[in-house]
Chain A
């Protein structure tokens, strides 16, 4: 049995406290009137931000010039009914700045929730495939999926607060906007607050139900004399995977893509899946290595770590493939309503947008290519931390541009949100790990998994 060390518990609480303070600071410092918002931006413009802004604009100006006019036309189109452009622009700015702490909260909440959902999918795949190498890691995976329900509830609460107009993260929730926007008005059959929240609760309910029964059967198998629990687990895992890939896809449209209600991408569900899958596998590897370094998981050998490393490497490339497929098709066809998505990202988010590709693709590609490196804990941890931060940035790039526009900054609220949910994640996951023996000894494939060698 694993005991949650005081050191780690204190660290988790410290993260939560620091993060909470950061978030509160973010909410308190958000402007409440247009004048305040304008004042904030005015001081910022003479501040340090100016240099980097100018640099990024300069880099892209040649690339974006031809398409820039197009994007403005399409944006202007949706707002064309508004006569007083200046005041609407200022209000827009106010909304963006008010969104900032909410978006920081939402990005971090979703990111850590996504890790545990990704682990749940990985776990179900291993169960359904009757994988022989991974049963030694089942309890670690079950520990991480312990965060699914609390993390999911937090995300749904944030979505519900958006539905109650505490923030403007989802502009389609604002009846004013919908009234003046034909495109969104056409989508209200799907994008309306009650149906949206009902779907969210249904999805989380389904995932949690699978998690609950799978965990139950897994624990029961430890004491059982036959394989009936294992077989039941196999069946529900196969069923869950079908449910998961449909609901995960719709979830990604709902929770992320609908932040840009005009824009759509048909592979978005896969893209978010790749991101959560690689983050989940990385989390399994990091937590396994941590537990091993503390003297637990003595049955996990470097071949298991090697396999996790291969998954990290492979799924990172899969993620890049989807990232690039999405980018290239939209870049190539250059349809105004689609291409605005990437123009805002390349113009205003240049560093995070391309930095993320370096962190999620180039770095793992070069570091994890060598077979021996995948067996070395040091390399897995280094690559893992970069991958996790890279996928945080990925979620950041998916949500921030439409929520806060060019007013983004990775400052106190963003780091605070990250630390708060990191602390919560660590606390819940490691508490869950103490609840059961770390070896699922009843699993019929345990022998194969323990002898596993490359």
Chain B
């Protein structure tokens, strides 16, 4: 009984946002919201924790920078010393200006790619993964809110109706 949920479908993101605030004000626990696009301010309304992705991006950028420095030092200075711009100093620091574009690009490359991969893993998304989406309409133009149910179906139904839900349903859990 405890993992039973109620689904409310909305057709407008502003209505949804107002509904989320209303429900949380009434101390209901919103399990999840499915939306076809990111709704501005929804994360704050849901009271979600701030993402730590930005910190990871910084760390990935630092890794990319270090890899670039090590790589370019090995390629251009250590393994096969190059005469750069007619200045055969064979020193990393003195040739550094020529390496800055490489360092910059590698920093961006590492930060961007590893951040996307982290985001996918954190969202439990990988190739051939079956969609967890309860209603395919939320990939089109509808929004779905999932609220946990604790023997308060009637109360929730009236509340959801009041907030402008266009359809309210309780999915039958067949597995349990």
List residues of chain A with CB under 8 Å of any chain B CB.
62-63, 66, 324, 327-328, 331-334, 369, 371, 453
Residues from chain A with a CB closer than 8 A to the CB of B87 are 66, 334
Residues from chain B with a CB closer than 8 A to the CB of A328 are 97-98, 100-101
Q: Contacting B97 at CB < 8 Å: which of A331, A369, A371, A453?
A: A331
Tell me, in angstroms, the Cα distance from A371 to B85 when the chains sit together.
40
Asked whether A334 lies within 8 Å of B97 as measured between CB atoms, the reply is no
Asked whether B85 lies within 8 Å of A327 as measured between CB atoms, the reply is no
A357 CB, nearest partner CB in chain B, Å = 12
Residue of A nearest to B99 (CB): A328
Residue of B nearest to A332 (CB): B85
A selection of 16 A-B contacts at a CB cut-off of 8 Å is: A66-B87, A324-B97, A324-B100, A327-B97, A328-B98, A328-B100, A328-B101, A331-B97, A332-B84, A332-B85, A332-B97, A333-B85, A334-B87, A369-B58, A371-B54, A453-B41
Asked whether A332 lies within 8 Å of B94 as measured between CB atoms, the reply is no
Chain B 65-109 near chain A by CB (<8 Å), digits 1 or 0: 000000000000000000011110000001001101100000000
Residues from chain A with a CB closer than 8 A to the CB of B94 are 62-63
Asked whether B98 lies within 8 Å of A332 as measured between CB atoms, the reply is yes
Tell me, in angstroms, the Cα distance from A453 to B41 when the chains sit together.
9
Tell me, in angstroms, the Cα distance from A328 to B58 when the chains sit together.
26
A309 CB, nearest partner CB in chain B, Å = 15
Residues from chain A with a CB closer than 8 A to the CB of B100 are 324, 328
Residues from chain A with a CB closer than 8 A to the CB of B41 are 453
Residues from chain B with a CB closer than 8 A to the CB of A331 are 85, 97
Q: Interface residues of B, CB < 8 Å — how many? A: 12
Residue of B nearest to A369 (CB): B58
List residues of chain B with CB under 8 Å of any chain A CB.
41, 54, 58, 84-87, 94, 97-98, 100-101
Residue of A nearest to B58 (CB): A369
Tell me, in angstroms, the Cα distance from A333 to B87 when the chains sit together.
10
B17 CB, nearest partner CB in chain A, Å = 12
Q: Which 7 pairs from chain A and chain B are nearest by CB?
A: A332-B85, A328-B97, A331-B97, A334-B86, A334-B85, A332-B98, A63-B94
Residue of A nearest to B98 (CB): A332
B48 CB, nearest partner CB in chain A, Å = 16
Residue of B nearest to A67 (CB): B87
Residues from chain B with a CB closer than 8 A to the CB of A334 are 85-87
Residue of B nearest to A331 (CB): B97
B117 CB, nearest partner CB in chain A, Å = 22
A176 CB, nearest partner CB in chain B, Å = 36
Tell me, in angstroms, the Cα distance from A174 to B58 when the chains sit together.
54
Residues from chain A with a CB closer than 8 A to the CB of B86 are 334
Residues from chain A with a CB closer than 8 A to the CB of B98 are 328, 332
Beyond A328-B101, A332-B97, A332-B98, 5 additional pairs, beta carbon < 8 A:
A62-B94, A324-B100, A332-B84, A332-B85, A333-B85
Residues from chain B with a CB closer than 8 A to the CB of A369 are 58
Tell me, in angstroms, the Cα distance from A328 to B102 when the chains sit together.
13
Tell me, in angstroms, the Cα distance from A369 to B100 when the chains sit together.
20
A62 CB, nearest partner CB in chain B, Å = 8
Residues from chain A with a CB closer than 8 A to the CB of B58 are 369
Residues from chain B with a CB closer than 8 A to the CB of A324 are 97, 100
Tell me, in angstroms, the Cα distance from A328 to B98 when the chains sit together.
7
B53 CB, nearest partner CB in chain A, Å = 12
B170 CB, nearest partner CB in chain A, Å = 35
Residues from chain A with a CB closer than 8 A to the CB of B101 are 328
Residue of B nearest to A327 (CB): B97
Tell me, in angstroms, the Cα distance from A63 to B86 when the chains sit together.
13
B76 CB, nearest partner CB in chain A, Å = 14
Tell me, in angstroms, the Cα distance from A369 to B94 when the chains sit together.
29
Tell me, in angstroms, the Cα distance from A331 to B58 when the chains sit together.
30
Tell me, in angstroms, the Cα distance from A331 to B101 when the chains sit together.
14
Tell me, in angstroms, the Cα distance from A334 to B101 when the chains sit together.
18
Tell me, in angstroms, the Cα distance from A327 to B85 when the chains sit together.
13
Residues from chain A with a CB closer than 8 A to the CB of B97 are 324, 327-328, 331-332
Tell me, in angstroms, the Cα distance from A332 to B101 when the chains sit together.
13
Tell me, in angstroms, the Cα distance from A66 to B87 when the chains sit together.
8
Tell me, in angstroms, the Cα distance from A328 to B101 when the chains sit together.
10
B31 CB, nearest partner CB in chain A, Å = 26
Residues from chain B with a CB closer than 8 A to the CB of A371 are 54
Tell me, in angstroms, the Cα distance from A328 to B97 when the chains sit together.
6
Residue of A nearest to B88 (CB): A66
Residue of B nearest to A453 (CB): B41
A32 CB, nearest partner CB in chain B, Å = 43
Tell me, in angstroms, the Cα distance from A399 to B101 when the chains sit together.
28
Tell me, in angstroms, the Cα distance from A402 to B40 when the chains sit together.
53
Most B CB contacts (10 A, CB to CB) among A63, A327, A333, A369 go to: A63
Tell me, in angstroms, the Cα distance from A327 to B94 when the chains sit together.
14
Residue of A nearest to B101 (CB): A328
Tell me, in angstroms, the Cα distance from A324 to B101 when the chains sit together.
10
Tell me, in angstroms, the Cα distance from A1 to B87 when the chains sit together.
62
Tell me, in angstroms, the Cα distance from A101 to B98 when the chains sit together.
38
Tell me, in angstroms, the Cα distance from A371 to B94 when the chains sit together.
35
B154 CB, nearest partner CB in chain A, Å = 36
Residues from chain B with a CB closer than 8 A to the CB of A63 are 94
Residues from chain B with a CB closer than 8 A to the CB of A327 are 97
Tell me, in angstroms, the Cα distance from A62 to B90 when the chains sit together.
13
A40 CB, nearest partner CB in chain B, Å = 36
Tell me, in angstroms, the Cα distance from A259 to B87 when the chains sit together.
29
Residue of A nearest to B93 (CB): A63
Residues from chain B with a CB closer than 8 A to the CB of A66 are 87
